[in-house]
Amino acid sequence: MRKLTSLGMGFLIGAVIGAALVFVFAPATGEKMRHALREGVRETMDEARSAARKREMELTEALHQRQKRPAAR
């Protein structure tokens, strides 16, 4: 769980830093830059939501498997 959380946080931090660097160093117009930045944020959020849904399904399945097992005494 910690590995997944660390990986996700690293990805998000990297995406933010990358977007900031592109914004600062790219020779595009303001409108083009804002569009590219919005697209980057949208893609990052979509990937984060997808990863969260996948993890939710994994955890739900693990919970169901634990509930099916007889209680240890």
- What the block records as the tokens of 42 is 């949208």
Largest distance between two CA atoms of the chain: 68
Number of structural domains found in the chain: 1
> pLDDT tens digits, residue range 23-53?
777 776 778 878 888 898 899 889 889 999 9
Query: Would 73 be classed as within a structural domain?
Result: no
Residue range(s) defining the domain that contains residue 25: 2-68
pTM above 0.75, yes or no: no
> pLDDT tens digits, residue range 50-64?
999 999 999 999 999
Query: Would 44 be classed as within a structural domain?
Result: yes
Give the separation between CA 39 and CA 52, rounded to whole angstroms. 20
Query: Would 38 be classed as within a structural domain?
Result: yes
